[in-house]
Structure 1
Amino acid sequence: MQVLQHSEHTLKKALISKNPVLMSQYEKLDAGERRLMNEAFQPSSDLFEPITVHSKSDWITSHPEDPQDFEQFFTDHNRKAPCPEKHIIYMQSIGSLGNTRVISEEYIKWLKGYCEAFFYGLTVKFLEPVSVSATKCSFRVNEHTQNLQIHAGVGIFSFARYGKDFYSSRYEGKVKKAQRTSSSDYSIFDNYYNPEVTSILLRRSCKTLTHEIGHIFGLRHCQWLACLMQGSNHLEESDRRPLHLCPICLRKLQCAIGFSIVERYKALLRWIDDESNDTSGAAPKNSSDQVNLKKPVEAFKDWREWIIKCIAVLEK
C-alpha cells in the first residue's frame, strides 16, 4: 500500500491559490468555513486523510491525469454552473430498483433527498421512469459472466453492479441460457432480477450519483486527499472512497453552487436521521402514497459521526 502525502505548501496552494483575486475570495469566506477547509493541510487532522493506493489496478495509478486545483477549476470556461434560470437537476430512472414498484419508488425518494442535501440549494426532480426498451440503448450478455449489461453513454450511470454477489458465481441475475441477443429484442429484460435493497446498496448508489453529477459541475477526479471525487476502477476501490468531498473539491462545489457549508452538512445530517422524507416531486405521479418504507442508513453511521465533527469545527 502506498500513501500519497502532499506537502502543506502543495495542498495550501491547491486550495487557496496564489492568485490575489482568489486569495481575497478565500479570506472573505466565513471564519468557520476557512477553519474547516484549513484542515486540508493540517498533518494532525482526523477529518481529511491522504489517498492510499492499494494496488496497481487502482484508478490513480492506472489512469494518469493532471490534478485540478481550485484555480484551474475556477478559470475553466467550459464548466457548468447553476443560475436562476437553470437550477434544477433532472434525473431519469431507467428500469427499476428493488423487487417491487413500491420499493423502486421509495428508493428514488431517498436518492432525491440525498442529492438535494449534497448539492444544497438546488432542486432535484425525477422524470417518469422508463423501461430499458424505451431508451433504445445497446446492451449485451457478458460472454464470461453471463451477466446482462447495458452500454451506458454520456451522463448515464448504473447501480447494477452494486447488488449482492454481482461478481460471484452465485449472482441470481445471470442470464440462465446463453444466447445471442438481437440488439432490438429487449424481452430479455422482462422480469429481470433486481437486487435486494440494502443500506450498502444505498450508500454505493449515493456515492455514484453525487460523484458523476460532480463531474457535470466541472469537478475532475481528485488527486489531493481521500475524497468522493477520486476515480475508481473496481468495487473495492469505490467502497474505500469516502462519501465526503475533500476541502479542495468542497470549495469547488461551493463556488459553483454558492451554499453555506454548515447548512449543507446539517441537511445531510437530517437526511440520515429523517426516516420520513419529503416526497414532494420525488416520485412518479401514480406512486402509492400509503407506503413509507424505512430508509436503510446503517452504512452511513460513520459518516454521520464525521459530519457532526465538521459541524463542530464550523461552529467553534
Structure 2
Amino acid sequence: MKVIQHSVETLQTALISNRQDLVTLYNKYTKNERHLLEEGFHSGQPGSLFQPITVHSDSDWIPAHPEEPQDFESFYRDLYRKTPDASLHTIYIQTIGSFGEVGSQTDQYVEWLRDYCQVFFYGLSVKLLPAVTVAETRCSFRINSNSHNIQIRTRDLLRFLEERKPKDAFCIVGLTMIDLYPKDSWNFVFGEASLSMGMGVFSFARYDDNFYSRSYAGRLQKQLQPKQGDYSVFDDYYTPPISSTLLLRSCKTMTHEIGHMFGIQHCQWLNCVMQGSNHLEESDRRPLDFCPVCLRKIQVAIGFKIAERYQALLQWMEENQSQTSCQSVPLFPKPTETFHTSKLWLRRCLDILQST
C-alpha cells in the first residue's frame, strides 16, 4: 500500500492558487469556512477531517490511469467547465427499466436518491422524469457470456437521453438496475457519460452483494442470445432489495458522475468522492463527500453556503423514516446504517463552521 502525501505548500497552491484574483476570491470565505478548508493541510495527522489517498495495488485508478492533477486554478480557468445559470439550473434523473412497483422499497429508493442529489448539489433543483421501459429506449441488449446476466447498451441510452433532455437541464442522468455494456468488445461498464452534452447513464446492478453469485436472482437461465427487439425479456426483471450498502454506493456513484458534469476531474489531492475507481473495493474506500479542493470547485460553481449544505446532508441521513403515504401508512424506513461514519464527519465539520 502506498500513501500519497502532499506537502502543505502543494495543497495550499491546489486549494487557494497563486493568482491574486483567486486569492482575493478565497478570502471572501468566512474565518470558519477557511478553517474547515485548511483542515486538508493536516491530512494524515491524528484526528484530521481529511485523509491522504492510499493506493492499495497497481490495479487502482491512479497507477492505472495517469492523469494531470486538477487544482482549483486549473478548474477555474477551464473554458469547457459548465456552470449552472438561470436557464440551465435543473438536474434531471431518468429511471430506465423496472425499479419495483409503486410504493415498493425500490420505488422509494429512487426518491431517496433524488433527495440526496438535491442536498448534495445544494442550491440546484433535482427532478425525476417519468419512468421509461427498456422498450421505449429502443436500445440494443445482450446476455453477458460470463455472468449470463442481461445487459443493455449505454450508447443507445445516451442517444435516447439526448432526445429527452429538457431545455432547462443542467444535465440529465439515466439510472437503471440492469447491467450495462458500451460496445460488443467490452465485458461491462458501470456507466458512461458525455460530459460536453451533460448526459450520463449508470447502472447500480453490480452494487448488489449477490450480483456475482450463481444464485443471483437476475441471472438468466437461458444462455441463448435473446432476439433483438423482443423486449419482453425485461418484463418483471429482477430488482434487488435496497440495502444500506447499496444505497450508499448508489449515492456515491451518482454524485461522483454528476460532479464530472461541472468539469471536476478525478481528484488526486486527498481522499475524496471524486477519486477515480477501477473496481468496487476501491470505490468503497472513497468517502461520501468532497475534499477541500473539490469542495471549493463545486461551491464556486453553485454558490451555496457550506454550512447550509452540510446541515442538509446531515438531515437527509438522520431522517430514517420516509414520508407517509396518503393513507397515513408509514412506508419503508431509509436504510442509512452505513452512513454512520459520514454523519459523525458532518457533525465535526459543522462544529467548526458554527463555532463562535
The two structures share one fold, judged by TM-score above 0.5: yes
- More divergent stretch after superposition (166-175 vs 300-309): 166-175
Counting only pairs closer than 5 Å after superposition, residues 34-73 of structure 1 correspond to structure 2 as 34-43=34-43, 44=45, 46-73=48-75
Match for 1:257: what amino acid? Answer: I
C-alpha distance in structure 2 between counterparts of 1:150 and 1:241, whole Å: 27
Structure 2 residue aligned with 1:173 = 218
* One of 238, 263, 287 as aligned partner of 1:242: 287
Is 1:305 the counterpart of 2:305 in the alignment? no
Structure 1 residue aligned with 2:24 = 24
Cα offset, 1:278, TM superposition? 6.7
Cα offset, 1:181, TM superposition? 2.2
**Pairwise CA RMSD of aligned residues?**
1.9
Q: Does the Cα contact within 8 Å between 1:109 and 1:277 map onto a contact in 2?
A: no
Cα offset, 1:277, TM superposition? 4.9
Q: After superposition, what is the alpha-carbon deviation per residue over 1:260-289, rounded to whole angstroms, capped at 9, x for unaligned?
A: 00000000011011235579xxxxxxx998
Seq. identity, %: 52
Structure 1 residue aligned with 2:303 = 258
C-alpha distance in structure 2 between counterparts of 1:131 and 1:162, whole Å: 21
C-alpha distance in structure 1 between counterparts of 2:102 and 2:152, whole Å: 21
- More divergent stretch after superposition (239-248 vs 160-169): 160-169
Q: Does the Cα contact within 8 Å between 1:164 and 1:195 map onto a contact in 2?
A: no
Q: Does the Cα contact within 8 Å between 1:113 and 1:278 map onto a contact in 2?
A: no
Q: Does the Cα contact within 8 Å between 2:106 and 2:239 map onto a contact in 1?
A: no
Q: Does the Cα contact within 8 Å between 1:91 and 1:126 map onto a contact in 2?
A: yes
Q: After superposition, what is the alpha-carbon deviation per residue over 1:122-178, rounded to whole angstroms, capped at 9, x for unaligned?
A: 111000010111112222211011122222243111111111211222322111110
Is 1:295 the counterpart of 2:334 in the alignment? yes
TM-score normalised by length of structure 2: 0.83
Counting only pairs closer than 5 Å after superposition, residues 155-174 of structure 1 correspond to structure 2 as 155-174=200-219
Q: Does the Cα contact within 8 Å between 2:218 and 2:237 map onto a contact in 1?
A: yes
Could you list the structure 1 runs, at least 4 aligned residues long, displaced by more than 6 angstroms after superposition: none
Q: Give the structure, 1 or 2, with the largest relative contact order (CA under 8 Å, sep 6 or more).
A: 1
Q: After superposition, what is the alpha-carbon deviation per residue over 1:219-247, rounded to whole angstroms, capped at 9, x for unaligned?
A: 11111111000111111111111101000
In the superposition, relative to structure 1, how do residues 125 and 254 fare at CA in structure 2: closer, same or farther (>3 Å)? same
Q: Does the Cα contact within 8 Å between 1:3 and 1:50 map onto a contact in 2?
A: yes
Q: Which runs of 5+ in 1 are unaligned?
A: 280-286
C-alpha distance in structure 2 between counterparts of 1:305 and 1:156, whole Å: 31
Structure 1 residue aligned with 2:101 = 100
In the superposition, relative to structure 1, how do residues 54 and 28 fare at CA in structure 2: closer, same or farther (>3 Å)? same
Q: Which runs of 5+ in 2 are unaligned?
A: 156-192, 194-199
In the superposition, relative to structure 1, how do residues 163 and 289 fare at CA in structure 2: closer, same or farther (>3 Å)? farther
Q: Does the Cα contact within 8 Å between 2:271 and 2:287 map onto a contact in 1?
A: yes
TM-score normalised by length of structure 1: 0.93
Match for 1:100: what amino acid? Answer: E
Is 1:198 the counterpart of 2:243 in the alignment? yes
Match for 2:112: what amino acid? Answer: W
Match for 1:304: what amino acid? Answer: K
